[in-house]
Each structure stands twice: as structure tokens, then as C-alpha cells.
Structure 1
């Protein structure tokens, strides 16, 4: 097939699509252009340094076909990249709380000054924690459990530093007990949160038919649904700038599908005329 325009994409004024989303928008691919869908098991071969005009290679029915990362095509960040950044941040915040306990122990043992955050809202983790939001209900459930042990950790500073003035040995004993209870609980939560983030990364490979019966593939963060729209739900995209405008030999944003008051999704044509 050498190319499809809007009229040929809609059959009897109807089109069925698979929908998926990025952080910025929702997209749709005509179901008739989809050949196969599989989980991304990282069996692809990278070709040089990837940018929005390059791709990897994956096999389909024993043939090598181009694999485009959709986040690169659209100039956005993939869920994998965001997750890796979030995990790295949690690693840093975990280390900071281990260091916080060590600094408190040093202050008690050596009558040294203690310059770490005493208010649990003022450490780097506390600032992030009070601002961070997520739509992942499982991750939110884990994060909600951080509040109490994190607050208890920071309350130790004032209490133990005061206690140490009267009985340094007793203060150090209490600190050691908190290492094996409150701090241990906090460290378990950090690991649980990281594991939940890792498990949320489930990219999908969608094989599509392109022009002249060529097969290509797209790596997506997710697939949401299969939906049907009528021609009256479609609005053509007449802009010359924006998402994927520079890659029109492979995929084209033809316009927007919208039903009622729902948010629009961008219709991608894998076989641009």
C-alpha cells in the first residue's frame, strides 16, 4: 500500500484505533495498520546514538525492521527515563538519612555540632515528599507509609541531643535502638518504593504496516484501549509545527479524535499519503 489519506482511513465514516498516552497527550493508531503487539523484552539492537531521526532494529517474522522509540519521535521523556531519575533520587535521599543518623551519633559521642535538618519538612526528602504527586495508586500507598517513620527520625535529634547532656551512654543506646527500628523501617520503604517504580515500567512494542507493505515498530509506554470513532469526531491538524512534524516520511499526525467532552487524542497515520 503506497499511502492512506483520511478518507481511506475511515471506512463507512468509522475508524477503530488503539489508544496510548505519554505524559503530555493521548494518541491513536488505526487498528487496521497494527500487525502485532508484544511486551518489550529488550530483544532489539541499537543502531548508533539514538535521536529523533534514528531508530533501533527488531525482528518481525525473521526480518529486521526499524523500531522507533515514541518518546524520541515526539521529543518527550519516556516513563523509563522518568523512573530511572526517580529511583536515583530515592537512592540519594536514602543515603542522606543514613548519613543523618551517623552525624547525630558523632554529635552525641564527640559533643560536636549537629547541622542536619531537624524539621522533617526541611530535609531534601521532606521538601520533595510534600510536593510529589502520582497517579500510581500502588506507589502512593507506599509513599503514604513514609510519613510517620520519617517524622520520628527527625524528632530524634532534639530529644537525643538534650538527653546526651545528662547521660551520653543512654542517648547512644536509644540511637542504636532507633537504627534497628525506625531507620530500618524507613530503609525498607525506600526499597519497596524503588521496586514499585521498577515494576511500573512495562513498555510495549507495536508492529505497524507502513507504506509499500513495509513493517515498522513503535515502543510505547502503554496501551490504553481499543476505541471506535466516527468521521464527525475528527478534526484535521493543519499546523506546520509541533509533534512529529519533522518525521513525516514515517508517521504523521493527521488530526484529533474527540468524542463529547472527553480529551482529544492525536490520530497517527503510519501510512502517510
Structure 2
């Protein structure tokens, strides 16, 4: 196995949960995406364009190009899901209170692993370190709010409805408020962490420039040829613009981008 034959290191970046690379030989600039110019009638994967020192540079949504969910779609999907799970817990404690006031059985789950959020939380996996960190904050508060249901049911069974009602009232102003704040802050913090970058590629000989959106740049380093695997054996996202290599430090697969393919679109 040898380094790819180039005098230039590679810019490695995340796209969805994969590692992609583009030769630094073709990189003109890397910047946060702002002030996009909308371009009507363009393909679905074209995000728009930016004015770069007086030149209009098209920006491709690289996620969409390769058939992934866009960052905006990812944020919107998580926002909708967490909004529903937040409302679930508002409804849950409201029903707990009503069951005490009306002296009837509370039929919703008191098991934090059995509610819709708990089931999702227990099985959700991500390589996004920011999202993983934000989600860990839910563990203890979520268990505490469901423990309130256990305590209230026990008090009701003992005939102490007044104390049970007091426990619910305190939970509404404590555990529930904390959960609501966590849901809201996770959405905001996750959206802020997902501010994309654009890598602008250029071919000065042909006066061509194109920008590719990336989730984040993770390294500038040489990479190694992969003579053992093929794209089809590593991912179902094979494409004529992609090749396959490996990082030297851990042998992780790198999907190498053919810059000329995009510059000549």
C-alpha cells in the first residue's frame, strides 16, 4: 500500500457519516456558507451560488448529490421528532395530574424506556459527537420525570391523593420545565453545530470554479491507496465521481472525489 501519487495532501471532510477527500491541489477556498444567491431552474442538488470576489461560483449540495438527506432536512426531521416527544411529556404529566384529580387509573407508562422518546433514545445511534453529547443530558432528567409517575401512583394507592397532587405540581415546575428546556436547547444547539462549509475547487487553466458543501473539515493529510476493497464492498453510494482510499493512521475508508468531474458539470 502506498500514498496516492500526488505532491499535495488531501482535505478530508465529513459528509453524513462518511469520510470524503479532495486533493488540496484543486482547493481555492474554504468558508462558511452565507449569503447564497438562489438560482432558479437548477438541478435539485444545486444549492445556489456565492459571489466570490466578483465571480459567481455555483454551490452544490454534496449530500443531495450523493443521495443523502440534506443538512436542512436532517435538522427539520430532528426538530419535528423532538417537538412531538416534548409534547408527549407535557401531555403525560397533564394526564398524571388529571388521574389524581379525577381519582382514576393512570394508564400511561412510568417506564422511561417504554415511552416513545425512551424507545428512540435507547436505540438511536450517531457518529455526530455534538448530538451524542447533547442527548446524554436527557438521561437523568428523563428517568426522574417518569419516577414521579411511580411515586404518584404509590401515593394514590395509599390513599394520600393530596400529597400525590403536590408531587405532580412540583414536577410540573421542576422536572417538566427541565425537560422542555432540554428539548428546545438540543434543537437550537444541534442546528448551530450544523453550519456547513463550502470547499471551492478551481481549474485555473479552464477558468472553472465549483463549490461543494461539507459538514466539517477534519484533516489535511496524505492518504493511502486501497487495493483490497472496492466502492461497492464499502458503500451502496457508489458513483462515477468517487474513488476509494484509506487513512494512514487508522485505515478508515476515504471516498476520494474526482475534482474534474465536478468542475466540468
Shorter-chain TM range is 0.7 to 0.9
Equivalent in the alignment of 1:223: 217
1:269 to 237, 258, 264: 258
Equivalent in the alignment of 1:82: 74
Per-residue CA distance 1:28-65 (angstroms, 9 max, x = gap): 1111211111111242314347524x452222221222
2:51 aligns to what SS in structure 1?
Answer: strand
Q: Distance in 1 between matches of 2:75 and 2:135?
A: 15
1:265–1:109 Cα change, 3 Å: same
Q: Distance in 1 between matches of 2:228 and 2:39?
A: 35
2:190 to 197, 205, 212: 197
Q: Distance in 2 between matches of 1:175 and 1:242?
A: 50
Residue segments in structure 1 that go unaligned for 5+ positions in a row = 1-8, 246-251
Equivalent in the alignment of 1:244: 239
Per-residue CA distance 1:201-244 (angstroms, 9 max, x = gap): 120011111472211111111111111247xx365999899533
Q: Which moved more, 1:117-126 or 1:16-25?
A: 16-25
Residue segments in structure 2 that go unaligned for 5+ positions in a row = none
Q: Distance in 2 between matches of 1:260 and 1:162?
A: 56
Instruction: Count residues with an aligned counterpart.
Output: 254
Residue 8 of structure 2 corresponds to residue 21 of structure 1: no
What CA RMSD, in Å, does the superposition of the two structures yield over aligned residues?
Answer: 3.1
Q: Distance in 2 between matches of 1:10 and 1:217?
A: 24
Q: Distance in 2 between matches of 1:100 and 1:129?
A: 17
1:34–1:138 Cα change, 3 Å: closer
Q: Which moved more, 1:137-146 or 1:84-93?
A: 137-146
What aligned pairs does 1:1-273 form with structure 2 within 5 A after superposition? 10-11=5-6, 14-48=7-41, 50-52=43-45, 54-164=46-156, 166-210=159-203, 212-229=206-223, 233=225, 243-245=238-240, 252-259=241-248, 262-272=251-261
Q: Distance in 2 between matches of 1:22 and 1:44?
A: 23
Q: Is the 8 A contact 1:236 1:255 kept in 2?
A: no
TM-score, normalised via structure 2 length: 0.81
1:15–1:173 Cα change, 3 Å: same
1:90–1:205 Cα change, 3 Å: same
TM-score, normalised via structure 1 length: 0.79
